[in-house]
Structure 1
Amino acid sequence: MATKVNKVEELKKAKDGFDVLQDLLNYSDAGDYDAIPEDDVAQRFKWFGIYRQKPNTGHFMIRLRIPAGQLVPSQLKVIAQLCDQYARGFGDITTRQTLQFHWLTISDLRGILQALWDIGLSSQFACGDAPRNVVGCPLAGVLKDEIIDSSEHARQISDMFVEAGREFSNLPRKFKPSIGGCKLHCHQPQINCFGFYGATHDGEPGYGLLVGGGLSSTPHFGQPMRAFIKPDQVLDVARAIAIVFRDHGYRDKRTRARLKFLVADKGWQWTRDAIEHVLDKKLIHDDSLVSPPATHHDHMGIGEQKDGSRFVGIPIERGRLTAKNMADAAELAEKYGTGEKRIRLTGKQNMILLDIPAQNVEPLTRELDAAGLTPHAHRLRDMLISCTGSEFCNLAVVETKHRAGRVLRYLEEHTDLDQDIAINFTGCPNACSQYQVADIGLTGIPVVLKDKKGPDGKPLKVDGYKVLLGARLGTDPRFGEVIAKKVEGDKIHLALKNLIDHYLDERADDDESFGMWVDRSQPEYLQSLITTPVEAEDAQPLTA
């Protein structure tokens, strides 16, 4: 009996997503959106990072492929020009350390793709059932105390998958790679399809390996392969994992087609055996390589590189940059940097300028301040992230990007924080903003206000959020638990301020983190801190 497959699998059999490129360019030349076949515009375009933009009436979003967020000023300048020319002057940093921008028309796409190719970038496999952008430590190669420099490995993994073309263009679902070597494990190996993390074995630096992580509506932490990966094995192992997923992953139901379900069903031992079968050799087994210590961190601030230069972190308000922001950052990196003058995008939707001589830090920060890109922002700006939300995304059920900005500015004005707290806004359960691993996770849900009527005379339905607390990564990872099921979106700022205020008042000492305070607080108490200020008669909505 033939194995039943889902509709997208049938579509891929008819024409692989990788094969849509020439058609896409032809559609762009023709400029007729309505003439594009539905299967191409709704699905296959994704293989080149292109999504239809809500409400699906002629505009697109494009997501770039920028391995580990690694850029140079000349590339960012071109991206700024593209945003200014085609995308109404703005773009967003994503949690996978790349950029995406909106409001593109079909006629724009050839010019945009060509401009990206000309500067050594692309959008291939930024979406679709293929290997996505490789995430990594943004300070790989410059941190003084890193376990191993993963910068080249991140680029090599990305290049390998892109150059493989059709070999990995028809995976069961998206496939998210991660590699990093810093001691903070900021690249979040536990929530990616595979995560190489810095480790040592008998004094030799290399990597531990987790496989089968992922979030969305059914989150899983990656399972440890209990193996030490030598640096010269990284590409072969990454390729082997992709082959295991391609050949053994589920293709009947889209909702169970991610690698995390295969690994959860088969277990780590089967998964490691399958990887070794593809490699045709045993890895170095090491039962001590189970879970890397990790924390919410994005390397913000100003620090010293191993070569004596400085890096300067720039927290970006909910990840949204104007074209001018991009151009200014590129210009200042070029003006004050030395050597490669590198730029990095981070997993918390921020930016870091590398290779700044110590004597240039002060004038650079003055100019960044003047450009609205201050490195010296409130601690919440370092960590607050947001997905695209219902403004553009077909899956989102609430608006996030603008509300996240309003909430952030309110909290910056009304709280005085000396610890990092990760607040993640997402518009639907698909977890683009990784709300299940945030200190405070907010996932969009409609809320019905029974005491108010809409234009149709029925109870008014407004944007709202579930509130999750208690998540952590690292040696004892856990996902956040729902503490409040429905909080009105325009009053969520009151709940967040109350949580932060009580944390600051009640923490045991200055070193107790928000997560530690949550751990020792009763869920009922935390729920009351969220709901009481929101339900108060004098609760004022935040709408501007």
Structure 2
Amino acid sequence: MTTTSTSDRVRPSASGKSNGQWLVDGTAPLNPNEEMKGVENPLNVARRIKEIYSKEGFDSIPESDAFGRFRWLGIYTQRAQGFDGSKTGKLSDQELSDRYFMMRIRIDGGALTTEQLRVVGNISKDFARDTADISDRQNIQLHWVAIEDIPEIWRRLEEVGMQTTMACGDTPRGFLGSPVAGIAKDEIIDPTPVIRRIVETYVGDETVANLPRKFKTAITGHPSLDVVHEINDISLVGVNHPELGPGYDLWVGGALSTTPRLAERLGAFVTEEQALDVWYGVIRIFRDYGYRRLRNKARLKFLLAEWGPEKFREVLETEYLGHRLPDGPAPEPARTPGDHVGVHEQKDGNLYVGLAPTVGRASGTRLLALADLAEAAGSGRIRFTPHQKVLVLDVRPDAVDELTAATEEIGFTAKPSPFRRNTMACTGIEFCKLSFVNTKDTARETIAELEQRLAGVELDTPITLNVNGCPNSCARIQVADIGLKGQLARGADGSNEFAYQVHLGGGLASDNREEPGLGRTLRGLKVTAADLPDYVERVVRNYLAGRTVGETFSEWAHRSDEESLR
């Protein structure tokens, strides 16, 4: 790889200071986080967990490991109980932290066997107080994990080919993959081989263990565009090239948080054989040219904003691949929902069943029950989705009714109400140190209220409701029809009040939007948890009364006056 001057591509920061780009400014660390990563490969902390901390206990763990390197192995300290949202951002990370951990189990492509699901379920029951949340990154998150138990958890996971390596940290985190990879009748290309090759080659590899910040990957070959490709650092989206056949359209630079930006197409076509090298090229651009001086500017989206897609493609092809990529077509608009809820036919004649838990909340007990029910229906495979849903694959046609009736009993429904199907929520203040508000319970209670209040209302178009505890948008509030951001506000009497800021009219291709876009922020509007069902009901009724023929909620929200949206 050449290291020639990049002055024609990169502008200096407004202050004239270094941006911390390795191939422009050198590799000297410019902040404490970069210094921590520079001392050693953060993955080395696994040995200390096994040999020292698990034997000597929580008090033996230095802060640089507990609040730094542990993340490289999917482990975060969780929020201590008893601290309300008024302490968020005021107390330090250490002061807010419990002596227990959240552990994220990496499940690339959301794919696991019923044997693996049982292992996860038993780990949850034995070591995590029966907690298990399905995230919108197709992972499982456990809570209440003690340092003493981590080696045994890893041993059980490794026995069935699972891991927590690089599930968090400044690394290539768990890969989103189409939940119907390899089974859908209308699939363009099966992304399973590409995901497997990248994971086997680079997860745990030191060359991608020190990135400026996290790096998110999404790969799909399904026309429903079911991996939210517009909000990942790199996405490979299945398309049919008129001359080269099935392959992938390359997207880069998407992310939300406090500065949301949708990914952009590079216009390049990637074959299955090229995908590994292209992915590695993009992540090395991020490693080498990403901004490291300020953490809030250290995502790939900021580099793309500086370079633009044309320059980004040029650098990828000339410096990292050594050859041009052919131009290719854009994906066709999605025509079916990307959450895959319901009963669908596979290409082999069996069926897959998409189930909706409530806002991703599960438990080890329920995961074990799901494994039993799936096997009774002829299945040995489960998939999690980027929409906090669960698919049971390979179901015998004669077993579907019995399966769906039984899963309903454990809280996984194949026929959810519109709001149970289309509501997501992040972890919230129950366990997250960044959160101001409760999200899971608030969302669950709101869904129950809306199911009663709108029971007789015909919703012929999905309306997504995403609930987030802080500005970081783990629940993707800016790309929901109704996005709610938790914050600390002032009540009428001047006291602290925990409320939600409202974003309206966002959406992605997997929501069947022709033009994905960010939501509209209603300045000054704060909705409390108690008032949330009233607000959502009012806005939905206003939409149904005021829309034109065929108009989506997003279109209506962007054109309507603010009074209709309050």
Q: TM-score w.r.t. structure 2 length? A: 0.88
Tell me if 1:522 matches 2:561.
yes
* Counterpart contact for 1:378–1:412, Cα < 8 Å: yes
- Equivalent residue number for residue 205 of structure 1: 246
Counterpart of 1:332 (choices 363, 367, 373) is 373
CA distance, structure 1, for counterparts of residue 163 and residue 333 of structure 2 = 32
- Equivalent residue number for residue 99 of structure 1: 140
- Equivalent residue number for residue 394 of structure 2: 355
Aligned residue type for 1:463: F
* Counterpart contact for 1:31–1:106, Cα < 8 Å: no
SS in 1 for 2:359: helix
- Equivalent residue number for residue 27 of structure 1: 52
> Which structure has more RCO (C-alpha within 8 Å, separation ≥ 6)?
2
Aligned residue type for 2:152: G
SS in 2 for 1:174: coil
Q: How does 1:261-410 map to 2 (within 5 A)?
A: 261-276=302-317, 277-286=319-328, 288-289=329-330, 297-338=338-379, 341-410=380-449
Counterpart of 1:430 (choices 472, 479, 500) is 472
* Counterpart contact for 1:197–1:292, Cα < 8 Å: no
- Equivalent residue number for residue 65 of structure 2: 40
How far apart are residue 289 of structure 1 and its match?
Answer: 3.0
Counterpart of 2:230 (choices 178, 190, 214) is 190
Counterpart of 1:141 (choices 162, 167, 182) is 182
* Counterpart contact for 1:130–1:171, Cα < 8 Å: yes
CA distance, structure 1, for counterparts of residue 474 and residue 468 of structure 2 = 7
How far apart are residue 294 of structure 1 and its match?
Answer: 7.9
SS in 1 for 2:376: helix
Tell me if 1:483 matches 2:522.
yes
Tell me if 1:15 matches 2:40.
yes
Structure 1, residues 323-352: CA drift from partner, whole Å, max 9, x if none? 2210111111111124xx210001111101
- Equivalent residue number for residue 470 of structure 1: 505
Tell me if 1:181 matches 2:221.
yes
Structure 1, residues 226-253: CA drift from partner, whole Å, max 9, x if none? 1111111111111111111111111111
Aligned residue type for 2:473: A
- Equivalent residue number for residue 451 of structure 2: 412
Tell me if 1:493 matches 2:528.
no
SS in 2 for 1:218: coil
Tell me if 1:70 matches 2:70.
no
Q: 1:324 to 1:60 in 2, by over 3 A?
A: same
How far apart are residue 519 of structure 1 and its match?
Answer: 3.7
Aligned residue type for 2:246: P
SS in 2 for 1:231: coil
Structure 1, residues 367-406: CA drift from partner, whole Å, max 9, x if none? 2223332212212112211111111111112221111111
Counterpart of 1:128 (choices 147, 166, 169) is 169
CA distance, structure 2, for counterparts of residue 372 and residue 472 of structure 1 = 27
CA distance, structure 2, for counterparts of residue 358 and residue 131 of structure 1 = 38
- Equivalent residue number for residue 60 of structure 1: 101
Q: 1:296 to 1:488 in 2, by over 3 A?
A: farther
- Equivalent residue number for residue 281 of structure 2: 240
Structure 1, residues 97-150: CA drift from partner, whole Å, max 9, x if none? 010010111111111111111111000000000000000211111111122111
Tell me if 1:231 matches 2:272.
yes
* Counterpart contact for 1:200–1:206, Cα < 8 Å: yes
- Equivalent residue number for residue 485 of structure 2: 443
How far apart are residue 94 of structure 1 and its match?
Answer: 0.6
CA distance, structure 2, for counterparts of residue 414 and residue 151 of structure 1 = 43
How far apart are residue 520 of structure 1 and its match?
Answer: 3.9
* Counterpart contact for 2:542–2:564, Cα < 8 Å: no
- Equivalent residue number for residue 539 of structure 1: none
CA distance, structure 2, for counterparts of residue 282 and residue 293 of structure 1 = 29
How far apart are residue 154 of structure 1 and its match?
Answer: 2.2
* Counterpart contact for 2:520–2:558, Cα < 8 Å: no
* Counterpart contact for 1:463–1:488, Cα < 8 Å: yes
Counterpart of 1:155 (choices 193, 196, 207) is 196
Aligned residue type for 1:190: E
* Counterpart contact for 1:427–1:443, Cα < 8 Å: yes
SS in 2 for 1:226: strand
Structure 1, residues 290-310: CA drift from partner, whole Å, max 9, x if none? 886588630101111111111
Aligned residue type for 2:321: L
* Counterpart contact for 2:135–2:360, Cα < 8 Å: yes
* Counterpart contact for 2:29–2:38, Cα < 8 Å: no
* Counterpart contact for 1:468–1:480, Cα < 8 Å: yes
* Counterpart contact for 1:143–1:306, Cα < 8 Å: yes
- Equivalent residue number for residue 454 of structure 1: none
CA distance, structure 2, for counterparts of residue 424 and residue 31 of structure 1 = 41
Structure 1, residues 386-443: CA drift from partner, whole Å, max 9, x if none? 1111111111122211111111111122213343211110111111111111111101
Q: 1:476 to 1:150 in 2, by over 3 A?
A: same
Tell me if 1:503 matches 2:543.
yes
SS in 2 for 1:185: coil
* Counterpart contact for 1:209–1:227, Cα < 8 Å: yes
- Equivalent residue number for residue 536 of structure 1: none
CA distance, structure 2, for counterparts of residue 156 and residue 495 of structure 1 = 47
* Counterpart contact for 1:227–1:289, Cα < 8 Å: no
CA distance, structure 1, for counterparts of residue 546 and residue 201 of structure 2 = 51
CA distance, structure 2, for counterparts of residue 291 and residue 257 of structure 1 = 32
Q: 1:301 to 1:207 in 2, by over 3 A?
A: same
* Counterpart contact for 1:77–1:330, Cα < 8 Å: yes
Bigger shift: 153-162 or 5-14?
153-162
Structure 1 vs Structure 2: percent identity of aligned residues?
Answer: 37
Aligned residue type for 1:256: K
Give me the CA root mean square deviation: 1.8
SS in 2 for 1:450: coil
Structure 1, residues 42-82: CA drift from partner, whole Å, max 9, x if none? 01000000000112131100001101100110111111111
- Equivalent residue number for residue 85 of structure 2: none
CA distance, structure 1, for counterparts of residue 223 and residue 427 of structure 2 = 30
How far apart are residue 14 of structure 1 and its match?
Answer: 1.3
How far apart are residue 26 of structure 1 and its match?
Answer: 2.2
How far apart are residue 256 of structure 1 and its match?
Answer: 0.6
Q: 1:516 to 1:385 in 2, by over 3 A?
A: same
Report how many aligned residue pairs link the two structures: 515
CA distance, structure 2, for counterparts of residue 266 and residue 53 of structure 1 = 37
CA distance, structure 2, for counterparts of residue 283 and residue 185 of structure 1 = 22
Q: 1:86 to 1:178 in 2, by over 3 A?
A: same
CA distance, structure 2, for counterparts of residue 297 and residue 7 of structure 1 = 40
Bigger shift: 197-206 or 481-490?
481-490
SS in 2 for 1:95: coil
CA distance, structure 1, for counterparts of residue 433 and residue 335 of structure 2 = 33
